[in-house]
Structure formats: C-alpha cells, structure tokens
Structure 1
C-alpha cells in the first residue's frame, strides 16, 4: 500500500500536518502485527494482507468507548427539553422545530446539503447531527458556542432557521399554561422560571441523552468478534493514513479545529469558517472536526454538504487533507469500518411527546 512506509513490524506515518493545525511535521508510529490470525468463517473477504489482525494497543489508545452513564439531571428537566426540542411554536412561523433540521429518527440530521428554515429560507451550512454533540469541545462548525446549552437557543434567533427574538421565544412559552407548569417543576427554586437561558438549559439537558452505542464500542471494550475482517482492516487503514490525528477519542472527532484543504485546496471557499467568528487569518478555512459517529447514516457530508456519499467523502478527505488518492479497496475498507460506528437509536428516549396545548 503506497500510503505508508513499512519498516519491519512498524509503520511510520508522516502526517506532515495534514490533520494538524501546527506547521510542524507530526510523526506517528503505529504498531503493525506480523502474524495474521485465522479469519472467522462468516467474515467477508478483504483485500488487506492482515485483514483479521486486531488493532494494536497504540491505535486503540487513540479512542475510547462511549460513556453511556446517565447525566445527573432531573427527569422534569429532560422531559421539558424533549418537548421544547420537538415544539415548532418556538419558531416565528410555528412550523419549524429543532427536530425539523435535526430529526432524531434520522440520526439527527437531514439528507440535504443545507436545511430549510422559516419562510423557506436556506441555511448556510450542512446541519450537523445532534447525537453526541453535547460531548464536543465546542458547538457549530465554527465553534461559536461553547456549550450545548448555549448552542440550543441560537437557532431560535437565526433569521434562516427559526426567526424568533429572545422576548418572542419567552412570550411563546409563557402563553402556554402547560409549559409554565413544567418550567416551574424543572426549575423549582426560580420565582420566574421561564427565561431564554432556561429554554437552552432544558434542551441541552435532553441532548445530553442523545447517545448511540455501536459495535465499535463493543470492540473497544474487548469483544473482538464485534468487527469483521474488512472492518478491522478499515480501522487499521484509518490509523495508518493518519486520520486518527484529528478523529480520535470517544466521538472519533469533535475535539479540535482543523483547516480544510490542508494538502489540496478545498473546492468551495466562499465559507471561510472560523475566521468569521474570530477575525483571525489563522482561522481562515478552519472548521470543527466532526464526529464520525453514525457517519454512514448522515449524508451529505462536510460543512458545505458537498459530498453526497460516504465513498465520495472518504476520497475527498484523503485527497484534500492527506494528499492521497485512495484505491478502490481502501475506500471500501474505510467505509466498512465507518459503518461499525452506526449505533442504535434510543427509540424510547427520542419518542415524540405530546405537546402542551395553547390554552
């Protein structure tokens, strides 16, 4: 494989800042086992010479299984947040909710390059999934919100999304007797519990529960049968290409910023990314590295929705970030492993609730 220089039982990957904001070269050493284990009879064939070898500890340390423990928040708060997430009355037209652009039964995103908000207005960027977003180090593609609670109310104020004002959102909630009761239950120590910030606190509390454990988590916890041979080959290729410099941790991303087009210029450059937030030239074309959890279910891809398929997305990443043109079998192996990141939707938790009537 032309993507790595093999030296005995080691693979030396020169990432050369392909997935690092630093201008210095980064050298990553990944252990490559030399004795292939026999493939399980049910596993599909793979083009990799070491398809059924397990990932080395050096690679596994770059990841972590999902923490599925329940966040210590009240049931009243998460129940309120669930209703607010689904309620279109938080929009100017009464037709757009959080779930409109982030449908939870479709892994928290739409199948369009950008979403449609109030009055048919189009958003500027691809809607990221709300699953696991609460664990990211910042929110939005450009990192303009620090927490999921702060992020949750910002779409309400966007003219392209929900088109409300702070006062308008609070007034819409206060008009509904059921919400006045539920806010009082969720915030029992507050004299006037309905506020714009507490709308965000409630939605954020609900979003903390949007987690989807996958077969990959079982593998990380020691169940080596959780992945088949092709998926293991894809995981090792992902590491050997240097993708784990940026896509790491429990969310396989969501923990750093990176400039798109590190090796080959990005085809679309109208959106300058984080520079619009900071005004710094160093942030030109810089975006948050997205989580790869459920990535097989969340096409189209990237901040601009420019990749229609997962195959196209992995090839674009290899080309523009690493300067590598993937072979067909390499793209297939990467896709196979990325498919193992698809988790099970929490169907009961995301079940659409009955909303309080306007009385």
Structure 2
C-alpha cells in the first residue's frame, strides 16, 4: 500500500521475522488454551488487549464510566434533544449507524462515514483525518458540530445542570461546585468509551495458538493478507488505525482528508488507515461509505492500494479472514437518565 506510515526498515525487519515463533498470552476468555504462536505469523500482528490504558488525568473509575454511559445516550446534548452519541455510534449495532455518511441535526449530513466506537481507545488519533489526538478531544467535536449535535459548550453544560446531572459529576470528579464542566463531560464519555472493547475474536484465539479457530479459507486469506502487502498498513492490535495512507481511489474528490488538518498539500487524500477489527459488521466502508459490501471494499483496496487485481477466490479468502476479526461485544444496556423536575412556582398570596 502506498504512503505507508511505518518505515520501510521496520517492515523489512518484521517480514524477515515472519517465520519466527514467539510466546504470547492467550486473549481474554481463552485461559487454558495453547499459548504457542502459530508459525508463519508476522510479529506485526497483535492480540487485542483486554483493557485500554487511561491517561493520568482521566482514570477509568466506576463513577466516571457510569456517568459517561449516561452521557453517551443523552439526547439533551443535541439542539433538538433527539440526537445522542449513540445515534451515530449505535452500541447495539457494532458501534455504527450503517449509513454512508452521518446524519445529525435537521437531517443535515456530513461528508464522512461514522466509524465504530468499539476499540477506539486503541487508535493513535481520532476521526478519519486524525484531528483529535485523544478520546477526550474527540468527544467534544460532535456536540459542537453544526451538522451533528449543534450545541455550544456552555449550552451543553447548562442543559446537564438543569436536567439533574450535577450530583453525578460531583461524585465522579470529587467536587461539589466545579465538577460540571465541558472538559469533564468529555472525560466521562471517554472513560465510558474505554470500556467498549471486543477481545476474543477467532483471530485472537488463533494468535494464542488455537489453530482450529480459523477455517481453511480464513487461513488462506491470512497468508494472502501478509503476502500481498496488506499488513504494511493494517497491523498492530487493531490491524490499522495507527497511521495514515494516501487513498488513491478518491484522488480528486472535494474531501482532501488530512490536508484539511495540516494544511500540507502532500496530505491531500490522505486518511487514517481504517482499523479492521469487527470490519465484517461495520458496513458501509471507507471514509465516505462508498463501498457497500466487504467484498467491494477488498476489491477496491486491491486495485487502488496494492495495484493488484484480486481474483474472486482471493477476495473470498480475504473476506473469510476479515470475518475472523469480529470479537465479543459487551452488553451495553440503555441507562436510566437523570430528569430533574422543574421547580414549582411560588405560591401567591390570596
């Protein structure tokens, strides 16, 4: 793939070590299984960790997670009080809305597809153009975006105060008077999102030594994935999401990708490499949602990024491998949201 975000030297060293075997802990939920990594696997493959790291200033406490859970489902964070984070990142549907591009306030649409919220904690940067370095920064964007939830920070905080959230913020952030802030709103949502992980995919079990976890087509697709060069960009625990690449398929489009962030002409049509975890259940594909099926997406990537015309059998095998990346989704119930009653009008003298 072009414009690979890791150095050629690192790739060469990794590919040279593809045949080496190593030890790796079994993924969560696979205790007692074999831990001998199968031969022929690149060290660029990593199992999905069972927990996400948290920044020092935002520990993943039970109180912050519980608050963030409510805020993620809170429609009052949109101007019409009908749209929440869960509207576009549906936790019951693999964290996506299955629309080509997101729809927000007033049925306004943005130019990009809603990426899954699951495993976003492991991304090196958020959004397709990488403009937010952390989950905390990402959480602030949609609330303020005109085409999404369309509130100012002050409006969002005031709505939460009127709705009865102040005690929950005080409990989560150890302050009675200054806890309910826009920054803390974002911290709570980020803390909740760090719990939205999907370990235990068949591929994780395969990495841990359970060779029966992948069928023949999936194993053939895995071998092709390495041999064809897909691994150059799609590596690490998410098989992507840790760098950027020029997407030649959309060159000339109005959405210039990362160039809108950096102002660098060399970044035109450069986008964050898509993570492939749960890719089989997060259609449609690409930053603009232009590929309706996984087969379409695989064929396009072969043409545009690998400069290779994949055969129908190769597409089928790669799709079989990609299906093995679907993990175990946590159960996320719809929370009970605070709803303060309006204060009663003062009684009038007879």
TM range (shorter): 0.7 to 0.9
1:293 correspondence with 2:277: yes
Aligned residue for 1:198?
A: 184
Q: Structure 1 residues 17-26 or 97-106, which shifts more?
A: 17-26
In structure 2, relative to structure 1, the CA distance for the partners of 1:176 and 1:32 (3 Å cut) is: closer
SS of structure 1 residue aligned to 2:271: strand
Contact 1:139 1:148 in 2 (8 A): yes
> Judging changes above 3 Å, is the alpha-carbon distance between structure 1 residues 64 and 291 closer, same or farther for their aligned structure 2 residues?
same
Aligned mate of 1:319, from 294, 299, 303: 303
Q: Distance in 2 between matches of 1:55 and 1:274?
A: 37
Which of 247, 252, 265 is matched with 2:239 structurally? 252
Q: Is the 8 A contact 2:38 2:209 kept in 1?
A: no
Distance of aligned partners of 1:62 and 1:190 in 2 relative to their CA distance in 1, 3 Å threshold: farther
Compare 142-151 and 24-33 and name the one that shifted more. Answer: 24-33
C-alpha distance after superposition, 1:301-339 (max 9, x if no partner): 000111000000000011001111100000000000000
Residues 39-89 of structure 1: CA distance to partner in whole angstroms, max 9, x if unpaired?
A: xxxxxxxxxxxxxxx9644x3311111111375521110000000000110
Structure 1 residue 191 displacement after superposition: 3.3
Change in 2 beyond 3 A, CA 1:23/1:63: closer
Name which of 306, 314, 321 aligns with 1:337: 321
Deviation for aligned residue 1:112: 1.2
- CA shift, 1:23, in A, is 10
> Which structure 1 residue ranges, 5 or more long, are not aligned?
1-16, 34-53
Aligned-partner SS, 1:287 = strand
Q: What do the CA deviations read for 1:107-132 (whole angstroms, capped 9, x no partner)?
A: 11111101210111012100000011
Of the structure 1 ranges 149-158 and 182-191, higher mean CA displacement relative to structure 2 is found in 182-191
Counterpart secondary structure, 1:322: coil
Kindly indicate whether the alpha-carbon contact (under 8 Å) linking 1:19 and 1:242 is maintained by their aligned counterparts in 2: no
Match of residue 61 from structure 1: 43
Q: Please list every run of 5 or more consecutive structure 2 residues that lacks an aligned counterpart in the other structure.
A: 20-36, 54-58, 342-350
From the superposition, tell whether residues 291 and 188 of structure 1 become closer, same or farther in structure 2 (CA, over 3 Å).
Answer: same
- Separation (CA, whole Å) in 1 of partners of 2:122 and 2:7: 28
Partner of 1:156: 143
Question: What is the TM-score with the length of structure 1 in the denominator?
Answer: 0.83
Cα gap change, 1:121 to 1:172, in 2 (>3 Å): same
Give the equivalent residue in structure 1 for 2:336: 354
Secondary structure of the residue aligned to 2:250 is coil
**Is the contact between residue 3 and residue 244 of structure 2 (CA under 8 Å) also seen in structure 1?**
no
1:142 correspondence with 2:129: yes
Distance 1:129 1:170, change over 3 A: same
Distance in 1 between residues matched to 2:8 and 2:195, nearest whole Å? 39
How many Å separate the matches in 2 of 1:353 and 1:337? Answer: 35
**Which position in structure 1 is the counterpart of 2:106?**
119
RMSD: 2.1
Count the aligned residue pairs.
316
Distance in 1 of aligned mates of 2:205 and 2:196: 18
Aligned partner (choices 212, 215, 218) of residue 205 of structure 2: 218
Distance in 1, matches of 2:191 and 2:15, equals 40
* Deviations, residues 288-311 of structure 1 (Å, cap 9, x unaligned): 011100000011100011100000
